[in-house]
Structure 1
């Protein structure tokens, strides 16, 4: 099937804050007096909801108080590190290339909705998207129902949609909703271990321009019956 619409992830995909996410998690565990966290552990265990991720990192079920402390420390640290994070250097050109090909795109993130809107406007890429959806207070902390709501808002056939994100949850959510997925896996600091990537069985791209090239080529292959 031709790909007409891309649903982009924000954190770690279009927004180059992967290092900030890892460092804030490491800092949160250290400030909470819990086990030391490594990049390898982050890559191997990341999942949603975040409370489950923290349980995996700790190797046990954390108490409600421990979860609250981790959440507080993470957001305090991430807010400090956010000042050093920027839009991925190839994000705007990749979005423009997809738009120039006559296709549509939207943005879906688990980042708080109001803060997401502010960042998207600040980075001057809002005009590329038909819809922008962040996490609202009354929504599930899991990606699948969030994606399902987003797809309901889009005037596109799910068979022609591609979800692009950097986590295992992006892929699982896409499959649960009946749409295709591509994993963005940058070589500099991927947020998913190579073992987990191999097990997913989906296309993988190391750069955003590569994502667009793959999606356009896939459409051509389907059109010509290859």
Structure 2
């Protein structure tokens, strides 16, 4: 079980993007299956992908494709995945109720920001296209050329850049790595089942688990951190 909080009520939410605020599961699965095809593996179902998904994502693909990767091969995995994902991004929609929930949190006088492991130069315009940029006091994506690593260091930098006390922050995300990052940095964490990880895996962290963003936010007023 992961220890994910202290006894302070959260005044700032760090939102995850993919699978949390953005419903992109269909695009993710299509992109994963392009990788599988590129390495001669049959396609996966969403449930199969949820059962094996982990970070660092390299380990996940090594398990799925039953091989280890050279640096060049891992770069090819990343290329195949993002080529297909980018093609399908326009078909993705925000999670149900996301805009109203974000506005309500902002209008309550509390603050929020967005931290994603998706590439920063794509994340920022996407957030603007969805009309969300004025709802966050900071938006950070991945600034390296190849993704897939842990979120912890990025979360620490994201919080420090805003001058926040980690004990006043709760991270809302959809994968085990969100809980691991929160525990390492000292923030709270609530996980949602709307993304690419099984409920069993999420529950195993010890973090609260909700089936929607509305349910996740409903945990905050009664949950001490």
Q: Name the TM-score, length of structure 1 as normaliser.
A: 0.88
What residue number does 2:36 align with? 29
Is contact 2:151-2:181 (8 Å) kept? yes
Say whether residues 1:111 and 2:135 are aligned partners: no
What residue number does 2:206 align with? 201
Q: Name the TM-score, length of structure 2 as normaliser.
A: 0.88
Q: Which has the higher contact order (CA 8 A, sep 6+)?
A: 2
Which one is further off, 192-201 or 157-166?
A: 192-201
Which one is further off, 75-84 or 8-17?
A: 75-84
The aligned runs of 1:1-150 (5 Å cut-off) are: 1-137=8-144, 141-150=149-158
Q: Distance in 2 between matches of 1:53 and 1:18?
A: 17
Q: Distance in 2 between matches of 1:139 and 1:172?
A: 21
How many pairs align? 217
Q: Which has the higher helix share?
A: 1
**Can you list the C-alpha shifts for 1:22-61, whole angstroms capped at 9, x where unaligned?**
2210122113323543323311222233322211222332
Q: Distance in 1 between matches of 2:197 and 2:113?
A: 23
CA RMSD, 1 decimal: 2.0
Q: Distance in 1 between matches of 2:184 and 2:26?
A: 29
Q: Distance in 1 between matches of 2:75 and 2:167?
A: 40
Relative distance call for 1:13 and 1:129 in structure 2 (3 A) is same
Q: Distance in 2 between matches of 1:195 and 1:130?
A: 33
What residue number does 1:213 align with? 218
